[in-house]
Amino acid sequence: MLTDLRTALPAPRRLAALADHRVFAVLLVVAAALRVVTMLGYRPATLYWYDSYTYLDTAVHLAPSATFHPIGYPLLLRALLPFHSVELIVAVQHTLGLAIGIMLYAVLRRRSLPGWAASVATVPQLLDASFLRLEHGVLSDTLFIFLVVAGLSVLLWSPRPSVRAFTGAGLLFAAAALTRTIALPLFLLVVLVLAVQRVGVRRLAALSLAGALPLAGYAAWYAQHHGRFALSGADGVALWARTMTFADCARIQPPPELAPLCPNGTRVDAASEYVWAADASLNRLPGDRFSHNDLAREFAIGAILAQPLDYLGNVIRDTSIAFSWTPIPHPDRTTPAFGFRHGVWGLPEQPLVDKVKREYDPDIRAQSSVSPYADFLIAYQYPAYLRGPLLGAILLLGAAGAVLRPRTALLPWAVAMGLLVGPVMVLDFDHRYVLPVIPVACLAAALALPRFGIGSRM
């Protein structure tokens, strides 16, 4: 592509074309340097109990998980298994973080935004310290963001994408759903928006089939292992936990087989904590909590139908946490922002940890901060954080674009809102779940700018 550009343009025009990207080039170099500093400052990688170790174990023993984690992220870890290095995993994820910024910039320039405006839209993704921390953890989120942004980029690359482009986008959204199941309703939202935009039956069918077939294949594989056609075995447990913040069994009047799932007086500080609270009603039932997934789902649906306004109020209340100026821990045990600090973080004393060390990376060890790199990141994270009201302003600008430029801005804005509200609707608010919203919201907001005299009016 660069060779074609050199041969097609005279030297002065080639220099002008390259100069047009200089702002973004500087941002990209700074962003890459920040990621190198992160890898030097916190070694070897951030590992979370129990998510990271479960992902690594699944990568070695590929099989559909009966809990929260579908197969998408373990497949990436499996591809990297020959290197036996969690440091390589986070290096790849830091590279994906840069690639997300490049995709945002490329789409916006393709849509004729000036270089400076397209570059500004990538700043949170490239420079926000929260993304540096996210990419440095053995978690599925960075891959998930990459797949969602890639799917949107394919659909937004031209005013009328081809059937092949719709097929590619469907595969990318299917991969996102196999990485985090919240992308399943997100995919349905994408199909709905595109249907409203009247993209054509062939294109919509290509998108739907390309997205549905991999998901159906995985669900069939899941059924072979767990006896149920599904993507995970935790959707009912998650939704049950969501209802524990408002459920009133005097109003729900559940049948006898569901009554043991009623609130029993256990109090925790966030809905998601009910999944793990030992005294919660679900966890007092015999057997593993996830063995009651179907009953939990049935109870939760009944609770929502009996108390729709209470459910809606809880979703609105928890979603609003995203817009606070000072990050609010939710639940209290989490660190929503400013998590770079000095210390040594030992490994949990769990059999799974020893198993993962033997089978995936023998060099897994306690993470430690390393000066002066960690010193810099600890200072950097305070100014380099997208405050909640700024996210709200970005979403409002995207909403304006969705109304004024529905052919371009509506799709990414709808996806951003789905990413924001969806996790709260099916489980709970978590600051980590807000991070995928940011690059998509920035894309929608930037696509609104031509209506305000910036860029072309494509």
Is residue 457 situated within a structural domain? Answer: no
pLDDT reading at 1 higher than 90:
no
Residue 11 lies in a domain: no
- The two beta strands, 42-43 and 344-345, are unpaired
Q: What is the pLDDT confidence band of residue 5, given thresholds at 50, 70 and 90?
A: very low
> For residue 6, is pLDDT > 90?
no
Contact 303, 247 (CB under 8 A): yes
Q: Examine the domain organization and report whether 411 and 337 are in the same domain.
A: yes
* pLDDT tens figures, 7-44: 554 655 555 556 688 999 999 999 999 999 999 999 99
Tell me the three-class secondary structure of the chain, residue by residue.
CHHHHHHHCCHHHHHHHHHCCHHHHHHHHHHHHHHHHHHHHEECCECCCCHHHHHHHHHHCCCCCCCCCCCHHHHHHHHCHHHCCHHHHHHHHHHHHHHHHHHHHHHHHHCCCCHHHHHHHHHHHHHCHHHHHHHCECCCHHHHHHHHHHHHHHHHCCCCCCHHHHHHHHHHHHHHHCCCCCHHHHHHHHHHHHHHCCCCHHHHHHHHHHHHHHHHHHHHHHHHHHCCCCCCCCHHHHHHHHHCCCCCHHHHCCCCCCHHHCCCCCCCCCHHHHHCCCCCCHHHCCCCHHHHHHHHHHHHHHHHHHCHHHHHHHHHHHHHHHHCCCCCCCCCCCCCCCCCCCCEECCCCCHHHHHHHHHCCCCCCCEEECCCHHHHHHHHCCCCCCCHHHHHHHHHHHHHHHHHCCCCCHHHHHHHHHHHHHHHHHCCCCHHHHCCHHHHHHHHHHHHHHHHCCCCCC
Q: Whole-structure pTM over 0.85, yes or no?
A: yes
CB within 8 Å of 139: residues ≥ 6 apart: 48, 51, 52, 55, 73, 432
Instruction: Determine the average pLDDT of the residues in 121-128.
Output: 98
The per-residue pLDDT for 451 is: 74
Residue 446 CA to residue 119 CA, distance in Å, equals: 10
- 180 and 114 in a common domain: yes
pLDDT at 223: 95
**Residue 3 domain-assigned (yes or no):** no
pLDDT at 299: 97
Domain boundary among 323, 350, 380: 323
Same-domain status, 199 and 279: no
Q: Which pLDDT belongs to residue 457?
A: 44
Q: Which of 308, 323, 338 is the last residue of a domain?
A: 323
Q: How many CB atoms lie within 10 A of CB 223?
A: 13
Residues 116 and 201 in one domain: yes
Residue 343 domain-assigned (yes or no) = yes
Asked whether residue 114 falls in the same domain as residue 66, the answer is yes
pLDDT average, residue stretch 57-72: 93
Of residues 285 and 335, which shows the higher confidence score? 285
Q: Which of 261, 292, 323 is the last residue before a domain boundary?
A: 323
- The mean per-residue pLDDT over the stretch 412-428 comes to 97
In a domain, 437, yes or no: yes
With respect to residue 356, please indicate whether it lies within any of the assigned structural domains: yes
Q: What is the pLDDT of residues 202-239, one digit of tens each?
A: 999 999 999 999 999 999 999 999 989 999 989 999 99
Q: What does the pLDDT look like over 232-275, one tens digit per residue?
A: 989 999 999 999 999 999 999 999 999 999 999 999 999 999 99
- Count CB atoms within 10 A of the CB of residue 259: 13
Q: How much is the pLDDT for 4?
A: 47
Same structural domain, 293 and 202: no
Question: Do 353 and 380 touch, CB atoms closer than 8 A?
Answer: no
**Residues 167-203: pLDDT tens digits?**
999 999 999 999 999 999 999 999 999 999 999 999 9
Task: Give domain status of residue 288, yes or no.
Answer: yes
Task: Give the model's confidence band at 456: pLDDT under 50 very low, under 70 low, under 90 confident, else very high.
Answer: low
pLDDT at position 66, please?
85
pLDDT exceeding 70 applies to what percent of the chain? 95
Residue 388's pLDDT is 97
Task: Provide the domain count of the chain.
Answer: 2
Phi/psi for 28 (5° steps) reads -65, -40
Identify the domain containing residue 48 by its residue range. 19-227+326-452
Do residue 150 and residue 102 come from a single domain?
A: yes
Query: Which are the contacts of 54, defined by CB distance < 8 A and separation ≥ 6?
Result: 65, 67, 69, 352
Query: Cα separation of 306 and 65, whole Å?
Result: 32
Give a yes or no: residue 6 inside a domain: no
Same domain, 366 and 221: yes
Regarding whether 332 and 317 lie in a shared domain, the answer is: no
Q: How many C-beta atoms surround the C-beta of residue 177 within 10 A? A: 26
The answer to whether residues 109 and 37 belong to one domain is: yes
Shared domain check, 169 and 266: no
Is residue 211 located within the same domain as residue 101?
yes
